[in-house]
Amino acid sequence: MPIKLTLTEDEAEIILDALEADMEGYTESAKEARGNNNRVDVKTFSEAAERIAALIGRIRPLVEE
């Protein structure tokens, strides 16, 4: 179900910053899980980072217009 939301450019930048920090955390967790040979966590954390990256990819062009 789509959600329609109106944001200022500053608010969108805040969300982008938070998403980027979150994505970095998941990427780092995936690396640690890989080092511990925990394939399930590698998959989970990698998928989360990929989904966040996709969302960033949808929001960033709206801010950079």
Kindly state the tokens that stand for 4.
């329609």
For residue 13, what pLDDT is reported?
Answer: 95
CB 45 within 8 A of CB 28: no
Q: How far apart are the first and last CA of the chain?
A: 26
Rounded mean pLDDT of the chain? 95
> In the prediction, which pLDDT does 64 show?
78
How many structural domains comprise the chain? 1
Residue 17 belongs to domain spanning: 9-63
- Listed in sequence order, the residues at least 6 apart from 46 whose beta carbon sits closer than 8 Å to its beta carbon are 26, 27, 30
Domain for residue 37, yes or no? yes
Tokens linked to 60: 């960033």
**4 lies in some domain:** no
Asked if the structure places residue 18 within a domain, the reply is yes
Mean pLDDT of 25-53: 97
- Please give the single-letter amino acid code of residue 37: N
pLDDT tens, position by position, 19-33:
999 999 999 999 999
The first and second tokens of residue 8, run together, are 């200022």
Q: Does 8 score more than 80 pLDDT?
A: yes
